[in-house]
Amino acid sequence: MNRPGTQPAQPDQERPAAPPRVLMLYYSYTGQAKRVLDAAAAVFRERGYDVTEAPIEFTEPRYAERFSRFPMRKVWPEFLGMLPAQTLQRTGDIKTPDAVRTGDYDLICIGSPTWWDTVSMPLRSFLKSHEARPVLDGKRFAVFVVCRRKWRKNLAGVRKLAEAKGGRYVDGIHFTYPGGQLPSMLSLTSYLGSGEYKERYLGVKLPPTNISDHQLEESRRFAARVADKVFGKRPQGK
């Protein structure tokens, strides 16, 4: 019996359900992978989801110093210097935020920049670590690939590594920079070395580099599709 002035206890089925929890997991040196995930996160938040960011920090002693600052001091040696490790798919030391270890998420969105045609060393290091299994095991994940030109090995590599940790792949999307192979590479390296877009570099006219506003809108549309797949479509008018 309830005492006077008190409300009856609410049955469990009447308690509001907790909102879906989404983890935005990424490595981003220039900030481009973060930009596409930020656009996606805005869609999830607008739907009332609980969104948590989890940037990976690259602490590997052999390379950490060059990635601790932007732009690069010696762009060509530092840019080319990652090629052997990337070709051999090496891993290294990383640091992740507490959210990776303490949260239980319904969806993990993985932001993956392409380094030399494949998954970047920092993200690969996380996905191959013991820390990745508790986050991904039995959980659905989507992949956001950012790249200059080549994206297939990156997306396939992230999917394979995440599924090996028990993740359930939902969908993936890629964002490429304009221009052919050589002009786009010169545009990117010019940006890495100066921190700003330049119209010409080494006498070559450059295409724009980095993520465009149009691609951010693509990311928002993709996030809405993923949300519909994982959590169900929103009722009309909401």
pLDDT of 2 strictly over 80:
no
Q: What is the pLDDT of residues 37-71, one digit of tens each?
A: 999 999 999 999 999 999 999 999 999 999 999 99
Q: Kindly tell me if the per-residue pLDDT of 216 is higher than 70.
A: yes
Cβ proximity of 134 and 108 under 8 Å:
no
- Quick: pLDDT tens for 63-101: 999 999 999 999 999 989 999 999 999 999 999 999 999
Digit-coded pLDDT (tens) for 104-124: 999 999 999 999 999 999 999
- Would you report the helix, strand and coil content of the chain in percent, each value rounded to 5? 40, 20, 40
Query: How far apart are alpha carbons 24 and 40 in whole angstroms?
Result: 9
Residue-level pLDDT at 115: 94
- Type of residue at 202: L
The CB density around residue 186, as the number of other CB atoms within 10 Å, is 21
Work out the percent of the chain whose per-residue pLDDT is above 90.
75
Confidence at residue 123, expressed as pLDDT on a 0 to 100 scale: 98
DSSP 8-class letter at 189: H
Q: Are 71 and 193 in contact (CB under 8 A)?
A: yes
Task: Choose among 98, 109, 114: nearest CA to 49.
Answer: 109
Backbone angles phi, psi at 80, to 5 degrees: -70, -25
pLDDT at 1 over 50: no
Give mean pLDDT, residues 126-146. 97
* Alpha-carbon gap, residue 179 to 157, rounded angstroms: 24
The CATH class of the 19-177+212-227 domain is alpha beta
State which H helix or E strand residue 110 sits in.
strand 107-115
Region 132-148: what's the mean pLDDT? 96
What would the DSSP string read from start to end of 30-99?
SSHHHHHHHHHHHHHHHTT-EEEEEEPEE--TTTTTTTSSSS-SSHHHHHHTTHHHHHTT----EE--TH
Per-residue confidence (pLDDT) for residue 178, from 0 to 100: 86
How crowded is residue 121: how many other Cβ atoms within 10 Å of its Cβ? 23
Give the contacts of 43 (CB within 8 A, at least 6 positions apart). 220, 223, 224, 227
Report which of residues 228 and 15 the model is more confident about: 228
User: How far is Cα 125 from Cα 190, in angstroms, rounded to an integer?
Assistant: 27
Tell me the pLDDT tens digit for each residue of 147-189. 988 899 999 999 999 999 999 999 999 999 888 888 888 898 8
What's the mean per-residue pLDDT of the chain?
91
Instruction: Show contacts of 193-197: CB within 8 Å, 24+ apart.
Output: 193/71, 193/72, 193/75, 193/76, 194/71, 195/70, 195/71
The pTM of the full predicted model, rounded to 2 decimals, is: 0.89
